[in-house]
Structure 1
């Protein structure tokens, strides 16, 4: 019903404009028209068609906006409203002295122009700050909340927002990490990271194009699965040339934590005192530990360097060297761990078949 009302309002409004627009014609032109009433209705019919098109666009926009508002958490709406009000107040306080300046008549249009431009800029700035520091706004509004009291007692540490970099999105493991619930807080995707993903997806190189499209697909899935946590951050720094430098600067600016699997970015960020969560470090830390005497089921895939050795791999890619395992190539058997070696290239496990160990 509301959709029909919106469309009809635009149709009748534009039809009325067309009907009365005939009166705006110069008097000599109207005197030459034999049937003014027919022209009125013709103009009304033409503008009503335009009103129908505008009404359909307005109705579609309204429904999209309504859906977006329903999906947005009430905390986000509240903090954005507070940020908008604060931005407009600051704009009015800063722009008020301009109206007291003696501006010549030919430049009088500058006053309303500056007022509108300043209000828009400060309103946008207020909303951006609210998205970044929304939790702080809520604690200011309700200082007696449980979270605030725990923070005051020192028994609760505020959760820093997490900033996703391009490599972490393309890697894809962040999707499973978010599903497990081990990562807390808001997940920020900077606008310049989105631009880099789009640039990769549009690249002429097939490999880069596949990586870019994979990253966009993964980002779309996690945004759909966690709409209340994934936020597209509008920050961009035109004076900073590289994406990695922009990520570090954003982390310093909002006191956030970088989520990445880029080794070099991790080192640079650590040097600049930006917190890092490296997905590769996490994967390394949760690998199962095998001690001498433990057994594991392993498929021998190929021969080793030594004549009697066989080589197999665990699910995480760890290489297992099986002594006297050459004759079992292509088969799966249970082996007993004899030792483990940590090298610069990764971890290596040595094992033997139980029959060889017993002898």
Structure 2
């Protein structure tokens, strides 16, 4: 299905590219007093080739990447981004009227730049304070941070039955089938640094490595949507350690919970 959509989008991009560059070729030919048919044909051909090659990089693939990121994004971060954009647009709307009174081209350009600026600042501020949203919405309250867990004197341990997932077992993908059998009844816990490592692998220039990273992100999305056991993505971190594997081991020791992995090292 995705392949057919991408194919039709390539055709549409080739058609649009041919029209736009064909018009550009006609204009260039008139300016240079050159043969119009030759220039129009060459530019149209370039538009067709450019549309066939580049269209997926501006349509299907960014949308696919966005869906993967949203599928595995913690709820509080997603809410922070949405609220930031909403408030940024409201702030930009307050400046839209006075900016529209400026002479051209400022009245056409500045409102757009102002909207981007306020949205960016709002998103950055809200994502920096995303943990505060847990206190506002109780349903979004997840595990406390490492420091908070150490200072928590209550008898109930929210991670008593948790299992940490590492990158290898997520990329392997069989965890989705195992979770559906009922064999695993514990909460599946994915630290944010494991998610960042998956995204880094998915951005790799190596095709095999990039496909493995994307598969891992897809598996996380399936687990969040279909797994009968709860899965949580937490921002708990071990700042004293740098690499993800060592962080995971240190976090498992602190929480006293097992790690599910395919890495024998």
TM-score if structure 1 supplies the norm length?
A: 0.38
RCO comparison, higher one (Cα < 8 Å, 6+):
2
Judging by fraction of residues, say which structure has more helix. 2
Higher radius of gyration, 1 or 2: 1
TM-score if structure 2 supplies the norm length?
A: 0.48
